[in-house]
Structure 1
């Protein structure tokens, strides 16, 4: 988050990429409040988007009954607040996804437990 200070506010950030095993990536599933906030995971920049979807997301979200019903071809993706269409064969770095980027995804037709988020 950017800081606008009225006076000098020098400080060294404590969460720079060199302090983690891999760049941090925030991931949030829209309309699924079983998960109260985006999760934050270290993701190597060489990870393909397809590996993120097939390998990482199930470990995070598969406890939700809707997860098995996701139609990934219809999923809407957002990168740092802007809609984007990922290429499953490209790496996170090739998508411009870096340290502390935020990815959100929306799954049309799936709106939380028993449609609780409509």
Structure 2
């Protein structure tokens, strides 16, 4: 449902990029898992490698599902586009993963 303000709304969003400095917010959604019906939000440094982000942030979160196997992660998407992080050594920023981006993955 949309909401129409009855006055000019002049308050800046409290989650805008400049507040986080060299960090950023990233949303991660495990597609098809009924335990995680929506994306989780992580605060991560822009310079963090994709492999470190997955190992240090995504794996511990996903491990709350007892059936999670880190080796089964596949099918990464950035928003709705196929996303190939390569070997994972590039930083989130270098891969084009920006503030408040939505990363999605599936498992085999």
Shorter-chain TM-score range: 0.7 to 0.9
The 5 Å alignment of 1:1-118 reads 12-20=12-20, 22-68=23-69, 70-72=71-73, 75-87=74-86, 88-108=88-108
Higher strand share: 2
The verdict on how the C-alpha distance between 1:36 and 1:94 changes in structure 2, with shifts beyond 3 A counting, is same
* Cα offset, 1:39, TM superposition: 0.3
The answer for unaligned runs of 5 or more in structure 2 is 1-7
* Count of residue pairs brought into register by the alignment: 99
Cα RMSD (Å): 2.0
* Cα offset, 1:106, TM superposition: 1.0
The answer for unaligned runs of 5 or more in structure 1 is 1-7, 109-118
For the residue of structure 2 that corresponds to 1:94, the secondary structure is coil
Distance 2:80 2:9 in 1: 28
Distance 2:17 2:60 in 1: 23
* Cα offset, 1:70, TM superposition: 3.7
Distance 1:57 1:66 in 2: 15
Distance 1:97 1:65 in 2: 28
